[in-house]
Amino acid sequence: MKAARDWGRLAIWVSSCSAITAVLTGLSLIVGTSSVETSLGWIFSPDAQSAVILWDIRLPRAVGAWFAGALLGLSGAVAQGVFRNPLAEPYLLGTASGAALGVTISLLAADASIGGLAWAGKLGVTGAACLGAAGAIVLTIMLARGVLETASLLLSGIVIAFLLTAVTSLLLLTKPEIWRAMQTFLLGSTGFLSWSAVLLLGGVFLVCIIPSTLLARGLDALTLGEETAQSLGLSLPVLRLTLLGVTALGTAAAVGQIGVVGFVGLVAPHLVRESLSVNHRQLLIAAPLCGGVLLQAADVVSRWVVRPAELPVGAVTACVGGTYLVILLWRRNRVGS
């Protein structure tokens, strides 16, 4: 009975998220460097140039932002489940520092044709960021000697993050000019999303969402504690390795395309839990939808506030997400006291 009601609530959540997504996508099409009236005019009678702006710049941007947000929301929800910690987030395992290192190497390689680094130049900034992020997670797991120990995983994540940041700083010393380009990339921007980026993000999203929802029951069991979960017949190594793989892939893909956009992965699962009482399978369906909406909204806001210029989308999510977390903590404390 309760289960049926929960799924019913989830259905309402899913449909409202979809509705908001539709509205935001519509807004994405009319918010930009041109005035709203001009944009509306374009939609009804496009010429060659406005068609490019609408369908090759604004639309892939809106759809890509949704997929990237969904990936971050999913990765965040999975990470919080695996680590049994509500403060876990996609960047916990050194992803952000790995991406920064990747970007730095690629910029260095593009700058001076350093023989051995030519591949990094060809890979482009996005590819290098993605590889760097994924590489950082692999290093973290290797340093923690597997995925079983939560504490050592978290610690290795921190160690790897510091290590990679140090390497990045050293590299930047040799060529300080690229610092600004790297910072701008890391701050996050949806401005460069193209249809090929959307295809990539969409593909990765499919690859990530299927195994996570299939393994969601394992996450439910894990909430009872690792020993209990094992006594329920769960193979912890397989479960954690697969789910961490999903987090790694999802985060690396998102970071590669839009940079290190913070707070979406952290806040999306909390927003879901605030309004629904969910098991993990429901959470893993709802959190990506929420993440998608969050990033799309942030993207629209970033284009709206200072138009025709725009804010870095990472700054917007940090402001909104940070504020929300503070409110959440404040409310919890009040309930607690």
Footprint of another protein (CB under 8 A)? 32-34, 49, 52-53, 56-58, 110-111, 121, 124-126, 173-174, 176-177, 180-181, 183-185, 189, 191-192, 194, 196, 308-310, 312
Identify which of residues 41 and 191 has a Cβ nearer to another protein in the complex: 191
CA distance 244 to 147: 8
Closest CA to 98 of 153, 166, 151: 166
CA distance 313 to 61: 12
The alpha carbon of 153 is separated from its chain's Cα centroid by a whole number of angstroms, namely 20
Identify which of residues 88 and 298 has a Cβ nearer to another protein in the complex: 298
Q: Which tokens go with 8?
A: 């019913």
Report, in Å, the least distance between residue 295 CB and another protein: 17
Q: What is the DSSP string of 76-127?
A: HHHHHHHHT-TT--GGGGSHHHHHHHHHHHHHHHHHS--GGGHHHHHHHHHH
Half-sphere exposure of 117 (CA within 13 A, CB side): 16
Identify which of residues 58 and 280 has a Cβ nearer to another protein in the complex: 58
- The residue behind tokens 């290797």 is 142
| Exposed e or buried b per residue across 167-191, where buried means at least 16 C-beta atoms within 10 angstroms of its C-beta | ebeebbeeeeebeebbeebbbbbbe
Q: Which tokens go with 44?
A: 């009804």
Identify which of residues 113 and 333 has a Cβ nearer to another protein in the complex: 113
Q: Which tokens go with 256?
A: 């590669």
Identify which of residues 154 and 181 has a Cβ nearer to another protein in the complex: 181
- Taking each helix axis from N to C end, the angle separating 195-214 and 236-258, rounded to the nearest 10 degrees, works out to 160
Q: Which tokens go with 285?
A: 């369906």
Identify which of residues 26 and 225 has a Cβ nearer to another protein in the complex: 26
Report, in Å, the least distance between residue 58 CB and another protein: 7
Identify which of residues 152 and 194 has a Cβ nearer to another protein in the complex: 194
Report, in Å, the least distance between residue 195 CB and another protein: 8
Report, in Å, the least distance between residue 51 CB and another protein: 11
- The residue behind tokens 């009319």 is 30
